[in-house]
Amino acid sequence: MNIVKQILLIFSIGFTLGSTAQPFRYRDLLFDAGDTFKNVEYAQAEWLNNPIEILSDYNIHEGETITETRVLEMDIFVPRNDTLTKRPAIIFSHSGAFLLGSRQNDDMIAFCGSFARRGYVTATIDYRLGMGADVARFLGIIVGLNVNEKNAQRAGYRAVQDGRAAIRFLKQNAEIYGIDSSKIFMVGSSAGAIQALSVLYLDHENEIPGSARAEPELGALDAVGLAGPSSKPTAVVSMWGATWNTEQIEDNTTPLFLIHGEDDNIVPFKKGIPLEGTIPDNPFVHFNMPETYGSFCIDTALANKDIPHETYFVKGKGHEFYGVNTGMFPPEGPNQYWDTIHQKISSFLFEQIKPEVQFEVELDENKMAIINKSSENNYVLWNFGDGETSEEWQPEHIFNTKGEYTVTLKVCNDILACDTSSQIVEISQITNSSYVSTNNISVFPNPVSDILYIRGAPNLFDAYLFDLTGQVQYQRENLSQNQLDVSLLAPGIYILKINSGNTSLIQKISIIN
């Protein structure tokens, strides 16, 4: 038995004994802790380096012509003692108006630790902070300072470049950290959410804002970090975020979860200017942010395009309404919305990776045949409700006593994401007849292009071929020739069912050109 099946067998013990309380990887806390790789350099970039002394704590710089090459770092969390080497990853990006905060923000660290215990690889990232300002001086003394819309847009664009670089870094180092490079998600808070939404939707060079092309030019979308695979996230969670341009959404169907308080006065829920009214008026200092389109506008744009997505909008709540201030917990910790949002994000991401589990049953008195329509076949485990189980893809089962039975199917994919589906069957009649094992019948070749040969079937039998939606595509009854001409069927996967008296077979068949 290979290592994947050994792990699945361990995780399935609870299922075999009773399927009501089984924990699932990625949905539940299965690991005691996570291990951390700290200060991992994922890129180098040009940081603003002309700070205005009295505003240096807020990363306000005099212009943008003076820069310094510095590293961009992330901390990576992995489940402790995990033997799986192919896991989905989540990048968490912090709040702070592109001026404050870091990958050490309390909420980002807490998210990373919790989701690593669920089985994900997680990372909290730093991105470049700071905005340039136009400064007026008299006799060396600052008499006027203006941070304008262009400065803010350029700060946001630098963060977009950094976010894209972080995704490429994890893809390029997937083997080192045990990551499934096709499943890298991004979760952002406030400025981090604006970054994540722009990483998702600002995906063409002709969409780069004109402010980023002004001198000193900031470069292409992927100018930061190593060149490599696509920078597109597999799904995005935006907490109290916004976009600068809803037209950039286009027909992008990447899964998106929008979380926002409807009374947010930092990043407006609807169309508005971030931070407007939160900074006192000053005749000498001007801080002007560009207009943004909040979650309400994004939701509307997606709905108008019939693009599926999820929302959690809360009336009467403002910015970071799970109880933090710029990502930092108060002494008493976050409020009750922390657990709610945490669970909603977990459920949303689990939906993106779990297999689809579906099956149909056909009863012939106490004999049950199954058509498995699930999306994955890496591992299956059936519980027939009578103490018997099976790991076959489409088993047949005989119930020995009358009654109602809950038949449950558990399916897991190659990253050990699992889900279940159940049906109740009622057995009202028991027939004591000899049952001929399906091993007595064999079909070949498989894959097949024209003639499918059947060995071991009785003189007369019925044959059916179902597609994966359960529709009958081929039907022959009372056959006496042990061969089927399938040359007229479209290539694909089919389910072959053969019946004759007490003999039955259900088998997956691949038809090729």
Residues 461 and 400 in one domain: no
Q: Which of 89, 86, 2 minimizes the C-alpha distance to 37?
A: 89
Structure confidence at residue 481 as a pLDDT band (50, 70, 90)? confident
**Angle ∠(181,182,184) on CA atoms, nearest 5:** 70
Q: Which two tokens stand for residue 197?
A: 């939404």
Omega before 447 within 30 of 0, i.e. cis: yes
pLDDT value at 9 more than 50:
no
Round to whole Å and give the CA distance between 66 and 68: 7
For the chain, the first-to-last Cα distance in angstroms comes to 34
pLDDT value at 433 more than 50:
no
**Residue 370 burial class via C-beta count within 10 angstroms: exposed 0-12, middle 13-18, buried 19 and up:** buried
The pLDDT, as a whole number, for residue 282 is 67
The pLDDT, as a whole number, for residue 458 is 74
CA 292 centroid distance within chain: 26
Q: Taking residues 36-53, report their average pLDDT.
A: 94
More confident residue, 129 or 505: 129
More confident residue, 468 or 218: 218
Round to whole Å and give the CA distance between 93 and 189: 6
Which tens digits make up the pLDDT trace of 151-173?
Answer: 999 999 999 999 999 999 999 99
- For the chain, percent of residues with pLDDT exceeding 90: 55
pLDDT value at 318 more than 90:
yes
Q: Which of 422, 408, 420, 416 minimizes the C-alpha distance to 379?
A: 416
Domain-located, residue 141: yes
For residue 247, give the 3-state DSSP assignment: helix
Domain-located, residue 8: yes
Domain-located, residue 237: yes
pLDDT value at 280 more than 60:
yes
Residues 226 and 308 in one domain: yes
Which tens digits make up the pLDDT trace of 259-279?
Answer: 999 999 999 999 999 888 676
Round to whole Å and give the CA distance between 152 and 129: 11
Residues 411 and 472 in one domain: no
Residues 53 and 168 in one domain: yes
Domain-located, residue 411: yes
**pTM, entire model:** 0.79
Residues 164 and 85 in one domain: yes
The pLDDT, as a whole number, for residue 434 is 39
Residues 189 and 263 in one domain: yes
Which residue is it, tokens 């009467």? 316
CB atoms within 10 A of CB 289: 22
Residues 470 and 452 in one domain: yes
Mean predicted lDDT score pLDDT of the chain? 88
Residues 442 and 483 in one domain: yes
Round to whole Å and give the CA distance between 502 and 488: 30
Phi and psi angles of residue 438, each rounded to the nearest 5 degrees, phi first? -65, -15
CATH of the domain at 485: 2.60.40.3080
Structure confidence at residue 440 as a pLDDT band (50, 70, 90)? low
Round to whole Å and give the CA distance between 288 and 97: 12
Omega before 491 within 30 of 0, i.e. cis: no
Residues 178 and 77 in one domain: yes
Domain-located, residue 284: yes
Domain carrying residue 470: 436-513
Number of domains in the chain: 3
Point out the domain boundary residue: 433, 453, 484: 433
Structure confidence at residue 5 as a pLDDT band (50, 70, 90)? very low
For the four alpha carbons of 297, 298, 300 and 301, in that order, the dihedral sign comes to: positive
Q: Taking phi first (over 0 means left), then psi (-120 to 50 degrees means alpha), and beta for anything else, what does residue 264 get?
A: beta
Point out the domain boundary residue: 414, 433, 452: 433
More confident residue, 290 or 141: 290
Domain-located, residue 29: no
Q: Taking residues 319-332, report their average pLDDT.
A: 94
Which residue is it, tokens 């609807």? 270
The pLDDT, as a whole number, for residue 395 is 86
Q: 417, 356 in Cβ contact below 8 A?
A: no
pLDDT value at 471 more than 60:
yes
For residue 6, give the 3-state DSSP assignment: helix
- For the chain, percent of residues with pLDDT exceeding 70: 92
Structure confidence at residue 7 as a pLDDT band (50, 70, 90)? very low
Structure confidence at residue 243 as a pLDDT band (50, 70, 90)? very high
Q: Which of 234, 279, 238, 281 minimizes the C-alpha distance to 258?
A: 238
CATH of the domain at 385: 2.60.40.10
Q: Which amino acid is at 271?
A: K
Which segment of 86-90, 275-279, 396-400 scores lowest on mean pLDDT? 275-279
Residues 6+ apart with CB under 8 A from 440: 456, 503
Q: Which amino acid is at 372?
A: N
Which tens digits make up the pLDDT trace of 351-391?
Answer: 999 999 999 998 888 889 898 999 887 788 999 998 888 88
Residues 312 and 459 in one domain: no
CATH of the domain at 127: 3.40.50.1820
pLDDT value at 4 more than 70:
no
Q: 410, 8 in Cβ contact below 8 A?
A: no
For residue 11, give the 3-state DSSP assignment: helix
DSSP conformational letter for 297 = H
Point out the domain boundary residue: 433, 468, 491: 433
Q: Taking residues 337-342, report their average pLDDT.
A: 96
pLDDT value at 18 more than 50:
no
Total H helices, total E strands in the chain: 9, 29
Residues 425 and 332 in one domain: no
Q: Which two tokens stand for residue 320?
A: 């970071």
Domain-located, residue 203: yes
Q: 485, 450 in Cβ contact below 8 A?
A: yes
Q: Taking residues 401-429, report their average pLDDT.
A: 91
Q: Which two tokens stand for residue 427?
A: 């057995």
Q: Taking residues 484-509, report their average pLDDT.
A: 83
Domain-located, residue 242: yes
Tell me the helix, strand and coil percentages in the chain, rounded to 5: 20, 35, 40
Residues 140 and 68 in one domain: yes
Strands 242-243 and 235-239, by their bridges, are unpaired
